[in-house]
Amino acid sequence: MFKEFNAHPKGIKTHDCVVRAIATAINKDYLGVRRDLNQKKREWGFTSYKDTKFLYKYFEGYPRLIFKAIKGEPRIKGSDFTMIHPKGDM
């Protein structure tokens, strides 16, 4: 069953959704993920770790799940996906 979770150590909801999402998805410490993102951003010459190209590079080697748009049908929402796949299996 879907359960809301905020990986921020103080439970703050701020403009750090990328960090919180990555920390949750890969089950890593929030502050460690933020440090790693900032370090990689500088190493690779990006101005933001929210840049799509940065994120593609950061996640090289991780499996990607793509939900292609079907003409005339709405894309599946995250909340609907969690209802269909409560344990994450596909």
Residue 57 in any domain: the answer is yes
**Mean pLDDT, the chain, integer:** 84
The domain tally of the chain equals 1
In which domain, by residue range, is 61 found?
A: 17-84
Residue 2 in any domain: the answer is no
Residue 89's pLDDT is what?
Answer: 61
Residue 80 in any domain: the answer is yes
In degrees, rounded to 5, the angle at the alpha carbon of residue 83 between the alpha carbons of residues 82 and 85 is: 60
pLDDT digits (tens, 9 = 90+) for 43-54: 999 999 899 999
- Name the more confident of 25 and 45: 45
Residue 11 in any domain: the answer is no
Residue 90 in any domain: the answer is no
Residue 80's pLDDT band, with cuts at 50, 70 and 90, is confident
pTM (2 decimals)?
A: 0.67
Residue 76 in any domain: the answer is yes
Residue 69 in any domain: the answer is yes
Is pLDDT at 33 greater than 90 in this prediction? yes
- Secondary structure (DSSP) of 57-85: HHTTTS--------TTSPPPPHHHHHHH-
Residue 3 in any domain: the answer is no
